[in-house]
Amino acid sequence: MSTLLTIADVAVELPTPRGNLRAVDHVDLSLEAGRTLGIVGESGCGKTMLSRAVLQLLPKKAKLTGRVMFDGQDLARLAPESLRRLRGRDLAVVFQDPMTSLNPVLTIGTQLMETIQEHLELDAPAAKARSIELLAAVGIPAPEQRLAQYPHQCSGGMRQRIAIAIALSCEPKLLIADEPTTALDVTIQAQILDLLAREQRRRHMAMIIITHDLGVVAGRADEVAVMYAGRVVERAPTPALFKRMHMPYTEALLAAIPKLDAAPHTPLPAISGRPPDPTRPLRGCSFAPRCRYAAGRCHEAKPALTSAETPGHLYACFHPIQMAAGVDA
Amino acid sequence: MMQLAVRAEPLLDVDNLVVEYGLGNKTVHAVSGVSLQVARGETLGLVGESGCGKSTLGRAVLQLRRAKSGRVLFDGEDLTAMEGEALRKMRRRVQLIFQDPIASLNPRRRIGDIVAEPLIIAGVKDAAERKRRVHEVLSAVGLDPDLVSGRLPHEFSGGQCQRICIARSLVLNPEFIVCDEPVSALDVSIRAQILNLLEEMKARFGLTLLFIAHDLAVVKAVSDRVAVMYLGRLCEVGPSEELFARPAHPYTALLLQAIPVPDPDVRPAESVAGGEPPSPIAPPSGCRFRTRCPRADQRCSAEIPELREVAPGQFAACHHPLA
Ligand SMILES: Nc1ncnc2c1ncn2[C@@H]1O[C@H](COP(=O)(O)OP(=O)(O)OP(=O)(O)O)[C@@H](O)[C@H]1O
Ligand SMILES: Nc1ncnc2c1ncn2[C@@H]1O[C@H](COP(=O)(O)OP(=O)(O)O)[C@@H](O)[C@H]1O
Ligand code: SF4
Ligand code: SF4
Ligand SMILES: [Mg+2]
Ligand SMILES: [Mg+2]
């Protein structure tokens, strides 16, 4: 298998009135063609900024360092015009808020057909047929009628399905889906993740699924990277991660998910507080103020990514869970 | 027990409610004959897919959207027959929390004013009294009133905005709150915090809740009973534990299967939600779920299934319920 995407030592800094904000803090990741990487973490931990760094779609004032190699090209060195073509076609994205990718004043049909015609050489009737096919594929009832409607006439769920249809329309090599199903209900979420998986197999498309829900990536991603405060704090092949989590943060994220087999009115083990203010980085482990295993060094130094015994499993913690268990109680 | 309580004196009694929207020359059948009761002190969860009419039902209960037919009895009084001052008075007792916490806060107003607004609308003239109430509810939801009152919504995260919305909904001391997907836009850790907060507020202020969500696990975490809705109708209603352990309606079973399990060994059931949800403009005849139901037969397209008791307190609208 060939490496499609390499993220090497990528950092993103944003100037803010409160000072420099380090949204992404030296991240290394790679992805092979046809594979799925899940990126998991709470809101504000840098998932979107990392994906925007890959897409070279950062806010104007943002400072990006490190390298992003996609399909043999260094994206930072591409001319804006080549980048734009690449993004429509080989490198597609679905955002959390479908209105980010949809134009409120154009009909759904116009938006889909414009994208298709711009990147694939299809005539209008063929583009229309493909649009209808795509809308049906993402589970839009009565797709022909929808073509004439505007985004505001659709429910939130439908809007996201339409945004996904547009992203898939040019058969990209890599699809970055930034919380694509966070706003959707579970059956549609399952349908869309199935749909993405199907499309991915058919096209040998690589995918990055960004989510805050470990449940979403459990059965879908080949590898999972957990982000916290701009850094990757644990990374592993999915089965290895769920078999043995090393980072207390990963464990806490999993525990906070309501479980179907719990009795009603069982209080949830919520992670208290919020991630640290990214303009005020902590000296020690960023998770320390919320971590139930924090002790000693945790407040003084940043744990580096360390290899676990399973190949490909990395974690950044001074007291990884299997060792801390028992000591803590 | 719960069913008995409901029969005795429901705080909310929705009877055969029909709500429609015009769309061009067509009609969207958003809610088509829904009946449900919520007992005082109870949380009724309402689940169903996007577009099935959950928000419409919630809004029609609050009279923010008028029903075409049917009744909404609140504490014995018919809200659908009320207007003007009477309705305004009644509205103090029933509140709504929205799905999108950030969008539902006016970006130009300070948090203190946002939370005080319902008091002003309700005619509470005493500024000191308003301030006292605002302080009380902001502290109750875990925010420091002195720190947050003077700030603007954009200075807060989604989870904090939802706390502010919850504070605003509590400020008039309501008895009943419709929570329309209050945690759907929040991430896993904040979701857990807000769900715990809602439970706390419910106990502290003696609230009755209609809790709308599309995630069954979320609904189960807070609900005494759960109602499952599909394309404008109720499929199944019952006590949470029983409904989840033994779903009688094929649609409830499908929803349960679709929940992502945080375990890579549990492969997601491919296409559990097979087929497409039909359009509420032209819903299927008979059982509305029949186009996606693995058990559908002739009778399902000919005859509308009514809610029938399948186990104590558990009702399903299906000709061929699961054993
Ligand atoms: N103002 C409107 N005009 C026309 N149709 C509408 C309007 N508002 C809602 N609808 C339609 O009514 C049906 C029910 O919508 P509703 O918003 O109640 O669904 P919901 O269950 O709350 O969905 P979601 O999970 O997406 O919030 C949908 O088919 C929707 O498209
Ligand atoms: N346009 C922007 N300007 C300044 N800071 C931003 C901007 N967008 C995001 N941030 C900040 O960057 C950090 C990472 O954000 P983001 O990548 O959106 O997180 P996530 O996607 O994981 O929720 C956060 O602290 C966020 O507040
Ligand atoms: S390094 Fe310390 S504070 Fe950080 S996650 Fe590990 S135990 Fe917790
Ligand atoms: S009535 Fe028929 S179609 Fe409807 S849920 Fe029951 S078996 Fe399925
Ligand atoms: Mg994001
Ligand atoms: Mg809704």
Question: Are residues B279 and A213, on separate chains, in Cβ contact within 8 Å?
Answer: no
CA B31 – ligand 1 centroid, Å: 10
Total count of domains within chain B: 1
- Start-to-end Cα distance in chain B: 23
Confidence of residue A51 (pLDDT cuts 50, 70, 90): very high
CA A215 – ligand 1 centroid, Å: 27
How far off is chain B from A197, nearest CA to CA, in Å?
10
Q: Which residues surround ligand 5, an ion (CB under 5 A)?
A: A 48
CA A47 – ligand 2 centroid, Å: 8
A99 interaction partners in chain B (CB closer than 8 Å): none
What whole-number distance in Å separates Cα of residue A296 and Cα of residue A287? 14
Question: Are residues A260 and B244, on separate chains, in Cβ contact within 8 Å?
Answer: yes
Query: Hey, which CATH number is domain A3-221, 3.40.50.2300, 3.30.70.1450, 3.40.50.1220, 3.40.50.300?
Result: 3.40.50.300
| pLDDT, tens only, A201-218 | 877 899 999 998 898 898
What pLDDT was estimated at residue A222? 96
- The proportion of chain A whose per-residue pLDDT surpasses 70, expressed as a percent, equals 96
Which residue stretches of chain A are H helix? 47-55, 80-89, 98-101, 108-119, 124-137, 143-146, 156-168, 186-203, 214-218, 238-243, 248-255, 321-324
What whole-number distance in Å separates Cα of residue A185 and Cα of residue A161? 12
Question: What residue segments make up the domains of chain A, in order of their start?
Answer: 3-221, 228-256+269-315
Give the residue from B184, B144, B182 showing the smallest Cα distance to B162: B182
What pLDDT was estimated at residue A323? 46
Q: Which numbered ligand comes closest to the C-alpha of A14?
A: 2
Sheet holding A91-94, edge to edge: A91-94, A174-178, A206-211, A36-40, A223-228, A231-237, A314-315, A306-307
How far off is chain A from B244, nearest CA to CA, in Å?
8
Angle subtended at Cα B321 by Cα B318 and Cα B323, rounded to the nearest 5 degrees: 170
* Full domain range(s) for residue B116: 101-173
Q: Has residue B130 been placed in a domain?
A: yes
Q: Which residues of chain B have pLDDT under 50?
A: 1-7, 271-273
What pLDDT was estimated at residue B65? 93
Q: Which numbered ligand comes closest to the C-alpha of B297?
A: 4
Q: Has residue B114 been placed in a domain?
A: yes
pTM attached to this predicted model: 0.83
What pLDDT was estimated at residue A1? 62
Q: Of A194-198, A324-328, B48-52, B318-322, which has the strongest mean pLDDT?
A: B318-322
How far off is chain B from A157, nearest CA to CA, in Å?
6
A281 CB near ligand 2 (under 6 Å)? no
Rg of chain A in Å (alpha carbons): 21
Is A273 within 8 Å of chain B by CB?
no
The mean-pLDDT minimum among A184-198, A275-289, B142-156 falls in A184-198
Residues pairing with A12 in the sheet: A24, A64
Is A189 within 8 Å of chain B by CB?
yes
In degrees and rounded to multiples of 5, residue B195 shows phi and psi of -60, -45
A141 interaction partners in chain B (CB closer than 8 Å): 276-279
Q: Has residue B144 been placed in a domain?
A: yes
Is B252 within 8 Å of chain A by CB?
no
Q: Has residue B146 been placed in a domain?
A: yes
Nearest-Cα residue of chain B relative to residue A267: B196
A278 CB near ligand 2 (under 6 Å)? yes
Which one of B291, B295, B307, B315 would you pick to mutate in the ligand 4 pocket, going by the greatest count of ligand atoms within 8 A of its CB?
Answer: B295
CA B100 – ligand 6 centroid, Å: 10
Longest pairwise C-alpha distance within chain A? 68
Selected residue with higher pLDDT from A222 and B183 = A222
Say which of A182, A186, A267 has its CB closest to residue B216. A186
Is A150 within 8 Å of chain B by CB?
no
In this model, does residue A329 exceed pLDDT 70?
Answer: no
Question: Are residues A215 and B158, on separate chains, in Cβ contact within 8 Å?
Answer: no
Is A158 within 8 Å of chain B by CB?
yes
What pLDDT was estimated at residue B8? 61
Q: What is the dihedral of CA A266, B252, B61, B191, to 10 degrees?
A: 40
How far off is chain B from A271, nearest CA to CA, in Å?
6
Pair of tokens at residue A198 = 């199907």
Size of interface A-B (CB pairs under 8 A): 165
What pLDDT was estimated at residue A327? 37
Distance of CA A41 to the CA centre of its chain: 9
B265 interaction partners in chain A (CB closer than 8 Å): 239, 242
Is B265 within 8 Å of chain A by CB?
yes
Ligand 2 atom nearest to A12, measured from its CA: 12
| pLDDT, tens only, A92-146 | 998 877 777 789 999 999 999 988 888 888 899 999 999 999 898 787 878 999 9
Residues pairing with A318 in the sheet: none
Q: Report whether A158 contacts B50 (CB < 8 A).
A: yes
A49 CB near ligand 2 (under 6 Å)? yes
Q: Which numbered ligand comes closest to the C-alpha of A156?
A: 1
What pLDDT was estimated at residue A159? 86
Longest pairwise C-alpha distance within chain B? 66
When pLDDT is averaged across residues A171-189 and rounded to a whole number, the result is 82
